[in-house]
Amino acid sequence: MKLPLINAQGQAAGEIDAADSVFGIEPNLAVVHQAATAQRANARQGTHSTLDRSDVRQAAQKTGRQKGGGRARLGTPSSPLRKGGAVAHGPHPRSYRQRLPKRMRRLAIRSMLSQRVAEGGVFVTAADVAFEPKASAMSQLCRTLGVERTALVVSDGVDENLVRGTRNLPNVQAMPAQTLNTYLILTHDQLIMTEAAVRRCEALWSIDAGAEEVDDA
């Protein structure tokens, strides 16, 4: 698998070799959907709470006559039909957590990386590309590199200059390769990666690395 190199002027500067097991597999979109759904579900706090009829404070005295009023029986003040009453079938605190096996998470990330490569949305920065801690400089660099809509700039480890430079850019986000996830790749159209980040992805998510983890376990 070949990934295109791009220099600071936005021009092609050659290609680098990348592992087919990470950037060149057949994407499994079903696993991608399941991983993204689980990630979004696990981000929910689940602290929503409403009052049912037993939780509503109410007077013990009957609010109106049973008969003779010419209209329907009022019932208790806690009725969901009355103002200040309970909520019928309302939400209560619960966990939305979904468990996803490690192999499925890894497959989902590889599938999304391969999908972006197949779409032509992955570029590797050449050695002359420098990240500056200024939003204006990073915005100009992203335009030069060909960012059209949304982009994920991936580095090997936390790059403080990159984080500061992209912090105020609404469509660009900096991310270490170690913390890449399916949902982030799914919600960004392009990936701008350093060569070190590519090697880190290969070390983290290649099939050989996964086999070593299973063997160690």
In 18-139, which ranges are E strands?
Answer: 122-125
CA distances from 158 to 17, 73, 122, 129, 154 (A): 24, 66, 20, 17, 9
Is residue 92 domain-resident? no
Nearest to 24 by CA among 180, 206, 147, 189: 206
pLDDT tier for residue 217 given thresholds of 50, 70 and 90: very low
Q: What is the pLDDT of residue 4?
A: 87
The angle subtended at Cα 200 by Cα 25 and Cα 97, nearest 5°, is 70
Is residue 59 domain-resident? no
Q: How many domains does the chain have?
A: 1
Q: What is the pLDDT of residues 122-157, one digit of tens each?
A: 989 988 888 889 989 888 888 888 888 899 999 998
pLDDT tier for residue 36 given thresholds of 50, 70 and 90: very high
Q: What is the pLDDT of residues 61-102, one digit of tens each?
A: 777 788 888 888 777 888 888 888 899 999 999 999 999 999
Q: Higher-confidence residue: 213 or 83?
A: 83
CATH of the domain at 154: 3.40.1370.10
pLDDT tier for residue 215 given thresholds of 50, 70 and 90: very low
Is residue 117 domain-resident? yes
- What is the mean predicted confidence (pLDDT) over 1-21? 87
Is residue 84 domain-resident? no
Q: What is the pLDDT of residue 210?
A: 52
Is residue 205 domain-resident? yes
- Among 127-131, 159-163, 184-188, name the one with the lowest average pLDDT: 127-131
Domain of 144 in residue numbering reads as 2-44+100-216
Rounded Cα distance between 176 and 30, Å, is 26
- Among 29-38, 89-98, 203-212, name the one with the lowest average pLDDT: 203-212
Percentage of the chain beyond pLDDT 70 is: 95
Is residue 81 domain-resident? no
Q: Are 115 and 162 in contact (CB under 8 A)?
A: no
Q: What is the pLDDT of residue 216?
A: 36
Q: What is the pLDDT of residue 213?
A: 44
Is residue 132 domain-resident? yes
Q: What is the pLDDT of residue 176?
A: 93
Q: Higher-confidence residue: 208 or 199?
A: 199
Is residue 67 domain-resident? no
